[in-house]
Amino acid sequence: MKYAAKRLSFPSAILAGLALLAAGSAAAQGSTAGGAEKQASRQPDCATAWNPVTPYMAGSVVSRGGVNYAAAFWTQGNAPEQGQAWQSGKRCRPAAQAKAADHDANFPPNTLKFLKANTGLDGEQWDNIMKLVNKPEQDSLEWTKFYGYCEDIKDKRGYTIGIFGATTGGSNDEGPDGPTLFKEFDASSGASNPSIAGGLARAGVHGSMQGKILKISDSAKVFCDKIGGLQNNPAWRDAMWNTFYKVYIQYSVQQARQRGFSSALTIGSFVDTALNQGAAGDSGTLQGLLSRSGNSSDEKTFMTSFYAQRSKIVDTNHYNQPPNGKNRVKQWSTLLNQGETDLKNADAAVQKVTDWEMK
């Protein structure tokens, strides 16, 4: 959805953003000797990718299409290349080209150990899964920056929170996972008898359960500011992964294994479906899709059918805004056809299949 730019006074914050662009421009200047490869190595790293639903304050720096931009004033939904609120800088170097990723470093040590023991997948594989998940969720591969994400995206599911999009619930989500997240936060913070209310209190927010829905009584700004403040909180990160595992990952791994499948790509595909459309329940959930995907014991045959079934509904029921859903599924199906099923040494392949534009 497009939003008109909201003009504010030109604050000093923009000077910092412009300074970053200027520094990037200077770094990219110089002799052309050495060709394109050397020129690329001189380019500044790209900032976090622009997200059409994220509000940006003056001075914010984002990247889009291999170019860094600085916001001149508050803006939301205005593509940087269209000008208006954005000051263009020089070309930048995608993060994937900056240096080889240290995949394990993206996980809390205990979480990494737990994931290896319970899913059979290592840090590199889970990091790639999370990149594939985060692209259609946040239009970014930098998933670790979204532990504190919070927004009401007007999909009738309440607030959407964190790295896997936990929700507080609404008319389109009557079995939300947000309540579990806050209970896990209370537990990870040391509570002997953890509760949803305890987790809310530790987060500094206010709300109550109305049936299965967690009704937040704070304003959107107050609530999301508090959640954003938990970005680097170790207990919050631990709670996020505990909830993610209990609600989505565990079921997805079970469904893969009972069919004789154990590849990172299949497990990741199931996890992506579960968190996007629900793990079990109606025909649109992972459970429902699996029931319509056939009984082949050949992993590629089964997954090809699964992707075909998911593509039929992935852009319906507020799951995704068309055509983002079909592109979401295409990421996984393309990797399957390329033989990248273990998601090892797959940085370039993941970068390529996620190089599509969110609508």
Residue closest to 123 by CA, chosen among 103, 142, 108, 141: 103
342: annotated active-site residue? no
Q: Compute the Cα dihedral for 24, 27, 31, 35 and give only its sign.
A: negative
306: left (phi over 0), alpha (psi -120 to 50) or beta: alpha
Tokens 């394109």 identify what position? 36
The CA distance from 143 to 155, in Å, is: 21
The CA distance from 48 to 212, in Å, is: 35
Buried b (16+ CB within 10 A) or exposed e, 263-284: bbbbbbbbbbbbbbbbbeeeeb
Q: How far is CA 42 from CA 28, 99, 259, in A?
A: 5, 13, 49
Spot the catalytic one: 124, 127, 137, 186: 137
- HSE-up (13 A, CA, CB side) for residue 190: 2
Distance of CA 196 to the CA centre of its chain: 24
Distance of CA 236 to the CA centre of its chain: 16
What is the three-class DSSP state of 165? coil
Tokens 């497009």 identify what position? 2
Residue closest to 127 by CA, chosen among 145, 141, 109: 141
Residue 16: exposed, middle, or buried by beta-carbon count in 10 A (0-12, 13-18, 19+)? middle
Spot the catalytic one: 152, 155, 218, 342: 155
The CA distance from 325 to 313, in Å, is: 9
Residues annotated as catalytic (active site), given as ranges: 137, 155
